[in-house]
């Protein structure tokens, strides 16, 4: 039987997971903003970190990234992956945890999906259907 903390629904992250994820998000975002990674590929991209999800044991962190100025998301994820060990060391120095988590990078597709839905809602077909609905009432 799976255990979970009081007040936390099964499958939902605990308050500790959320808190640690947010601390790691701030550290990684700050490193990227300051240009502390000596990699021309990363320096050429504007990478943001909207979320970090922690495993229940806090030993693995999935760092979700987006590109604010376009670019190839898979290249950004690969480039960050090359520096994962160095970033892990930086996280270990700045966040007081028993174990420094392994960092995995993934491209966050939520914003792309939002843009796609917005474009659909603005399409002429949807506007026509909405106008037809208004005419019927």
The pLDDT mean for the chain works out to 86
Burial of 47 (0-12, 13-18, 19+ CB in 10 A): buried
Q: Which two tokens stand for residue 87?
A: 């970033």
pLDDT tens-digit readout, 9-19: 677 999 999 99
Per the model's pLDDT, the better-predicted residue between 112 and 29 turns out to be 29
pLDDT tens-digit readout, 74-115: 899 999 999 999 999 999 999 988 889 999 999 988 766 666
Q: Is 60 helix (H, G, I), strand (E, B) or coil?
A: strand
* pLDDT above 60: residue 3: no
Alpha-carbon distance of 84 to 60, in angstroms, equals 12
Query: What pLDDT is attached to residue 70?
Result: 73
* pLDDT above 80: residue 5: no
Query: What pLDDT is attached to residue 125?
Result: 79
């Amino acid at each position: 039987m799976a255990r979970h903390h009081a007040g936390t629904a099964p499958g939902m992250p605990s308050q500790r997971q959320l808190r640690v994820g947010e601390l790691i998000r701030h550290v990684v975002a700050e490193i990227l903003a300051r240009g502390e990674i000596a990699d021309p590929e990363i320096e050429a991209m504007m990478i943001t970190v909207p979320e970090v999800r922690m495993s229940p044991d806090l030993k693995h962190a999935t760092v979700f990234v987006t590109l604010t100025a376009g670019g190839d998301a898979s290249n950004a994820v690969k480039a960050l992956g090359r520096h994962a060990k160095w970033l892990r060391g930086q996280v270990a120095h700045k966040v007081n945890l028993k174990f420094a988590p392994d960092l995995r990078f993934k491209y966050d597709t939520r914003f792309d999906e939002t843009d796609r839905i917005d474009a659909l809602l603005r399409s002429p077909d949807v506007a026509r259907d909405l106008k037809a609905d208004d005419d019927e009432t």
